[in-house]
Structure 1
Amino acid sequence: MRIPTCTAVVLIAALTACTATQPQAAAAPPTDPPQASPPPPGASGKISADMVDKVSPVAAFRGLGEHFNIEIQSEGGPTADGLRHRVHLAWGMGTHEADGTLFYRDTPGPARGAPIALDGTLDTAKGKQAIRVEIVTAACTDDADVVHPQRVKIALQGESAMAGCGDLAVY
C-alpha cells in the first residue's frame, strides 16, 4: 500500500514540527571580550636577570638509549654544591636501577650549543658511584625512528659509557 504524496508531505511536516526544539530565550548582546593583561615579567620564554644562577637549564629531562633510560628533575634553587637535581637511571636492560643526586655547577649558564653538564652520585647496589651526564642540543633519532631534540651521554663509574637521545623540558 502506497501513501499518497500529499498525505506523505503532511505527515513529514507534522513529525518535523513535533521534534523541533523550543526557541531559547534571546541571547544577551555580545560584549567586547576582556582585554588580556600583559604577561608577567619573564613570561617571554627567557629567564629574567633575577633568575640567573637560581634556575637550572635542566628543569626536567628524559633520555633513553641502548639498554638504559634516565630521568632527571630539578629540585629548586642553588646550594653550596650547585643547582640540585634528582636522577633515576635504569641500565643493563633493566637489571640495574639506582637513584641519586646531580648538580649543575656551570654559571651563569652554558654557551649556546655547549653541553649542559651535571655531576653527582648514584646510590647503587655497589655503593655510591660517581656519575656525569652531558646533554647537548642536537637532533637525535632513537631506535624506533623517533626524533628527539637532545643527545645525552652518561659516564657512570665502573660501567661502559652510555649514549642516547632525550627530551629536555625548558622554562
Structure 2
Amino acid sequence: MAGVPGGGGPEDGPPPGALARAYDGLGHVGGFILAIMTAAVFVQVVFRYLGINAIDGLEEIPRYLFIWLVMIGSAAAMWRNEHTMLDYFVKLLGPRGQAIVRIITWSACIAVFVYLIILSWTLVPNAQYQTSAGLGLPLGYVFAAVPIGSALIIVPMILQLVAAVRALWPKSS
C-alpha cells in the first residue's frame, strides 16, 4: 500500500505546502514531548537514587504525555507514510485490485477514527470533572488527545483514500 498523501508512490514525498509544514511540525512536537517525558523519568530516578522525596505529580507527567505522544506521532507517521502496514498480499494484486483494497482499508480506518471522535464527545467533557492525584490536572486535557489526534490522523487518510479512488479510475491520455 504505497503512496503518500497527494503523492503517486513511495518515492514521492508529501506534497509541499502549509499542510506538510504543519505535519512536519507535529514530528517536532512529538520529539519535544518525548524529551519532557525522558527528563521527568530521569529526575525521578535521580531523586530516588539520592533518597529525596520526589516532586508530587512528577510520575504523572510521562504517563499523561504518553497518549499525546502516541496520537501526535501517529499523525506525523501517517502523513509521512511511515506507519506499519502489511502489504505483501496487496502487492500480489494488479493495480485495480490494489486500489480496491486501499479504498476498503482507508475507508475502514477513517470510520474507526471518526468513531473515536464521536465517543470522545462524551468522554472528554466528563473527564474534565476528574483531576489527577498528584498534579491536580483535569483529566479532560489528557483525554483530549484522542479526538485531536484522531482528527490529525484522518487528514492524511482522506488524502490516501482520494489517491486510491483516482488510481481506480485513471484518466485516459
Q: Tell me the TM-score normalized by structure 2.
A: 0.22
- Whose relative contact order is higher, 1 or 2, with alpha carbons under 8 Å and at least 6 apart? 2
TM-score (ref. length: structure 1): 0.22
Higher helix share: 2
